[in-house]
Amino acid sequence: MRRLLTRVLNRVLLSELFTPLMGIEAEIHTQGRRKLVVGLGNPGMEGTRHSVGMAVLGALAARLGVADRWRGDKHVSGEVIVSEVQQTHVVLLRPRLLMNINGVSVAKAAGKYGIRPEDILLVHDELDKPLGKIVIKHGGSARGHNGVRSCVDCLQTDVMPRLRVGIGRPTGKTPVERHVLGRFSSEEKKVLESVLVQSVDLLLSQLSQEDSQQESQPPSSPAGGRQAAQKRKETERSSSPAEISAATQC
């Protein structure tokens, strides 16, 4: 029932119309390659494990020298920075909606800036990976992550690549919800520093990759999204591992 209500809420919030593009927003919509990088999380809870995607995005903005350029955009229900990595226009997005409906903000930003689902990179926490491990996943199911599920629902496709940042499962009898909404301990923060550095390195690598095959493909359709993702995964398996891992030492 909760999942059904969330999907209905996603649809209602997405019914709002986009506003005309102006200035640099219009330019990025019409020129060159475009990418959207999203730090999934809960607004006002940036320091928690569940919002580690936002921490990674903050570190990326700092590396690009644009950390002071965040601005609220009510039309995408989030905060954005428009920047550039080599020849690629990049939009950084921090949704200002709850995690369960982050996809509304992502879909609105994709529509506003004319960015295809396969060019949207989601950054989010991952319970099933230990703190200190980051993994690139090329599309596929949400694996129980509510923020990713909202993105899949709103974009009507699951082709979006993800950077999964391990936070580990709780120890003892600590409930999962309390664990993910809690803040990192002092010892965990030491590991997190290295995680943020390596996460930004991996994001920049992904954003800088030239993919001529992707450039020639038409935009994904909702009906063909899953098939396109599966086809891409099979191609990756034949040439390289489907997941790229980077681990830090505790």
Residues carrying an active site annotation: 50
- Residue 69's SS3 state is helix
- What lies within 8 Å, CB to CB, of 222 at 6+ separation is 155, 156, 157
Q: Name 138's bridge partners.
A: 161
- Residue 59's SS3 state is helix
- In angstroms, the CA 62 to CA 64 distance is 5
From the list 129, 142, 147, the residue with the least C-alpha distance to 53 is 147
- What lies within 8 Å, CB to CB, of 148 at 6+ separation is 40, 122, 124, 142, 162
* Start-to-end C-alpha separation, the chain: 41
From the list 49, 36, 32, the residue with the least C-alpha distance to 162 is 36
